[in-house]
Amino acid sequence: MPLNREQLAQRISEEIEDGFVVNLGIGIPTLVANYIPNNKFVMLQSENGLLGIGPFPMESEVDADLINAGKQTVTEALGASYFSSADSFGMIRGGHVDLTVLGAMEVDQNGDIANWMVPGKMVKGMGGAMDLVAGARRVIVAMQHADKEGNSKLRQVCTLPLTGKKCVNRIVSDFGVIDLTSEGFLLKEYAPDMTPEQVLKATEGFMRIDPNCKPIQLKDQSPS
């Protein structure tokens, strides 16, 4: 069975180390925050100018001056700080953010990522995505392995306009955990009830199977 959205988020949460500063994109990446265990000290960065995102506010705490990059009302975590957009992207571009997790429409075997526009459709803009993939120390992509028609989104070459070149370190898809190497995709883990060969078959780009490839193991855990 491919992973569902919550399981994807849970698997990605294991990529987060104690002491990390992490920027989570909109969608599945946002769910990752729910699975960070309490014994890890993690600061979540919001590119609109907050380091230390707390949980959603109680109704009585809602503050129009306190939102995340998705424009949702949030609270501040202990140890939080506020700053300007220039400082925020100084953190991001300057390599001070340990990890970013983003969604993608396509990733190719060179580590190029496309996640901001589809020609012919209304373009909403790249927001901070191009800065994040260019500057974060580690870029993890959370994505569906295939589109609704079953076409692989892990391509030989991206067909959509790029967000960044050679910048993805790891993909966590509903089919598996895949690293980007100088020789294309490397399958490290696969979804339970699938086989590495099935993942390989579902991938358009060049993929090798790691000799130590193993099934994804998720701890019994509900969101914290």
Closest separation between CB of residue 110 and another protein, Å? 10
Show the CA angle centred on residue 132, arms to residues 114 and 19, nearest 5°. Answer: 130
In the range 176-195, which residues lie near another protein by CB under 8 A?
none
- Which CB atom, from 135 or from 205, has the smaller least distance to another protein? 135
| Structure-token match 């070459």, residue found | 157
- Which CB atom, from 1 or from 78, has the smaller least distance to another protein? 78
Extract the tokens encoding 134. Answer: 């260019």
Residue 12's H or E segment, with its range, is: helix 5-13
Residues 6 or more apart whose Cβ sits within 8 Å of residue 58: none
- Which CB atom, from 1 or from 58, has the smaller least distance to another protein? 58
Residues 14, 15, 47, 76: which is the catalytic one? Answer: 47
Q: Which of 10, 144, 152, 163 binds another protein (CB under 8 A)?
A: 163
Q: HEC profile for 164-217?
A: ECCCCCEEEECCEEEEEECCEEEEEEECCCCCHHHHHHCCCCCEEEEEEEEECC
Using CB under 8 A as the binding rule, whether residue 47 contacts another protein is answered as yes
Distance CA 23, CA 46 (A): 6
- Which CB atom, from 1 or from 64, has the smaller least distance to another protein? 64
- Give the catalytic positions in this structure: 47
Binding site for another protein (CB under 8 A): 38, 46-50, 55-59, 62-68, 70-74, 76, 78, 82-86, 88-89, 92-93, 112, 117, 122-131, 134-135, 161-165
